[in-house]
């Protein structure tokens, strides 16, 4: 298992986590593994640029590539795909994959716990509209295999540092802007603010949802200055196409109502560009 970047501490309880290789710190090892592989599974992304510089290494490898994913607009780099934008999560598709191959007897407590965590987080706690009866049937099987829903929920959602909790308070109190004319909520976080609260990778996850929970808000955006680039998260309600917006203006993509993008411009410019861009969607955001 190779990841393109580090991930939040709230995932580090997962069985097998100590074997995960972070490409950022182990580029040579990651490259060797991919070059020697017969088969590479690409999970939860469908365009190689999503895994940064590791993408070209994967592209050039002679291994057959199997892409399992549920985001819109696959790039088409793979040899085989199990793809559905209707699936709640990549982990749901992985379970289908195991079922198709009659491998579900191999799903033990550890595997079940990881798949359960993937489905729970990708559906934001079974809340997204992509959560179906099939999703619940699969999670029921995972519980039967030993996944403990309350333990996993606590490990992921009740695991925040004091700094992270205070950072959320700071953002909601001092950084949240409401652009009422466009029913839009916006939070911009500078690199200095991240440093002040010692915000780690993964700590800003979920912050964008607070804006969307305000009554009447149809679009919520979080812009975070991650030094190398400004990362943006979009969450929308109703007919606003977050993925199209992210693609058109911020070199991004994702799902219809949850998408992301990035920009190399200074954060003030990104904020201004965002405010300008939403004016083109007044038919979906205003009234
Ligand atoms: P998040 O806001 O949680 O980082 O991402 C929301 C969704 O948008 C995820 O499904 C993620 O894969 C996708 N996404 C985030 N950033 C980007 C990006 O820069 N490009 C593309 N194509 N998708 C993104």
Whole-number Å distance between alpha carbons of 212 and 210: 5
Residue whose CB lies within 8 A of the most ligand 1 atoms, among 47, 89, 121, 253, for a mutation test: 253
**105-160 confidence digits (pLDDT tens):** 999 999 999 999 999 999 999 988 899 999 999 999 999 999 999 999 999 999 88
Mean per-residue pLDDT, 236-256: 96
Distance 103 CA to ligand 1 centre (A): 30
At 238 the pLDDT is 93
**Element containing residue 134 per DSSP (H, E):** helix 133-144
Q: Which pTM was predicted? A: 0.89
Is there a shared CATH topology between the 86-159 domain and the 162-285 domain?
Answer: no
CATH for the stretch 162-285: 3.10.310.30
Please, which pLDDT band fits residue 228 given cuts at 50, 70 and 90? confident
Contact 24, 14 (CB under 8 A): no
| Owner of token pair 């991004």 | 252
At 220 the pLDDT is 98
Alpha carbon nearest to ligand 1 atom 6, residue:
259
Number of Cβ atoms within 10 Å of the Cβ of 33: 17
Phi, psi of 16 (to 5 degrees): 90, -5
DSSP string of 181-226, one letter each residue: GGTEEEEEE-HHHHHHTTPPTTTTTTHHHHHHTSTT--EEEEEEE-
User: 122: Cβ below 6 Å to ligand 1?
Assistant: no
At 160 the pLDDT is 86
Whole-number Å distance between alpha carbons of 109 and 106: 10
* pLDDT > 70 fraction of the chain, expressed in percent and rounded: 100
At 20 the pLDDT is 98
Alpha carbon nearest to ligand 1 atom 11, residue:
254
User: 55: Cβ below 6 Å to ligand 1?
Assistant: no
At 73 the pLDDT is 92
Whole-number Å distance between alpha carbons of 171 and 190: 11
Distance 94 CA to ligand 1 centre (A): 20
- Tell how strand 2-3 and strand 253-254 pair up: unpaired
Write down how long the chain is. Answer: 287
User: 211: Cβ below 6 Å to ligand 1?
Assistant: no
Residue whose CB lies within 8 A of the most ligand 1 atoms, among 206, 260, 261, 263, for a mutation test: 260
Atom of ligand 1 nearest to the CA of 47: 22
User: 51: Cβ below 6 Å to ligand 1?
Assistant: no
Alpha carbon nearest to ligand 1 atom 24, residue:
260
Atom of ligand 1 nearest to the CA of 233: 2
Please, which pLDDT band fits residue 268 given cuts at 50, 70 and 90? very high
Alpha carbon nearest to ligand 1 atom 19, residue:
261
Atom of ligand 1 nearest to the CA of 261: 19
Please, which pLDDT band fits residue 227 given cuts at 50, 70 and 90? confident
Whole-number Å distance between alpha carbons of 161 and 163: 5
User: 241: Cβ below 6 Å to ligand 1?
Assistant: no
**210-223 confidence digits (pLDDT tens):** 999 999 999 999 99
Domain ranges of the chain: 1-85, 86-159, 162-285
Q: Residue 273 has which token pair? A: 């560009």
Secondary structure E strands in 51-123: 64-69, 80-83
At 159 the pLDDT is 87
**162-200 confidence digits (pLDDT tens):** 999 999 999 999 999 999 999 999 999 999 999 999 998
Distance 243 CA to ligand 1 centre (A): 9
Mean per-residue pLDDT, 33-44: 98
CATH topology of domain 86-159: inorganic pyrophosphatase (n-terminal core) (3.90.1640)
Number of Cβ atoms within 10 Å of the Cβ of 59: 12
Atom of ligand 1 nearest to the CA of 122: 10
Superfamily name with CATH number, domain 1-85: inorganic pyrophosphatase (n-terminal core) (3.90.1640.10)
Residue whose CB lies within 8 A of the most ligand 1 atoms, among 259, 262, 263, 270, for a mutation test: 259
Atom of ligand 1 nearest to the CA of 252: 20
């Amino acid at each position: 298992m190779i990841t393109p970047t580090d991930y939040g501490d709230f995932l580090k309880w997962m069985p097998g986590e100590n074997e995960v290789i972070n490409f950022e710190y182990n580029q040579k090892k990651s490259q060797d593994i991919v070059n020697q592989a017969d088969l590479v599974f690409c999970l939860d992304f469908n365009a190689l640029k999503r895994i940064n510089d590791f993408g070209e290494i994967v592209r050039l490898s002679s291994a057959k590539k199997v892409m399992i994913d549920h985001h819109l607009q696959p790039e088409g780099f793979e040899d085989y795909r199990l793809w559905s934008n209707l699936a709640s999560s990549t982990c749901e598709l992985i379970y289908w994959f195991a079922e198709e191959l009659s491998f579900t007897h191999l799903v033990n407590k550890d595997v079940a716990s990881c798949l359960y965590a993937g489905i729970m987080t990708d559906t934001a706690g079974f809340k997204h509209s992509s959560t179906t009866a099939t999703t619940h049937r699969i999670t029921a099987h995972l519980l039967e295999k030993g996944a403990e829903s309350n333990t996993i929920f606590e490990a992921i959602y009740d695991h925040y540092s004091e700094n992270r909790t205070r950072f959320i308070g700071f953002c909601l109190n001092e950084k949240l802007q409401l652009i009422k004319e466009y029913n839009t909520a916006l939070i911009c976080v500078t690199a200095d603010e991240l440093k002040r609260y010692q915000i780690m990778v993964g700590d800003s996850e979920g912050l964008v949802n607070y804006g969307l929970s305000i009554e009447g808000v149809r679009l919520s955006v979080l812009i975070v200055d991650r030094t190398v680039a400004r990362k943006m998260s979009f969450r929308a309600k109703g007919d606003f196409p977050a993925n199209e917006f992210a693609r058109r203006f911020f070199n991004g993509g994702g799902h219809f109502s949850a998408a992301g993008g990035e920009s190399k411009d200074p954060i003030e410019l990104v904020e201004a560009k965002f405010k300008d861009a939403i004016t083109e969607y007044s038919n979906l955001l205003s009234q």
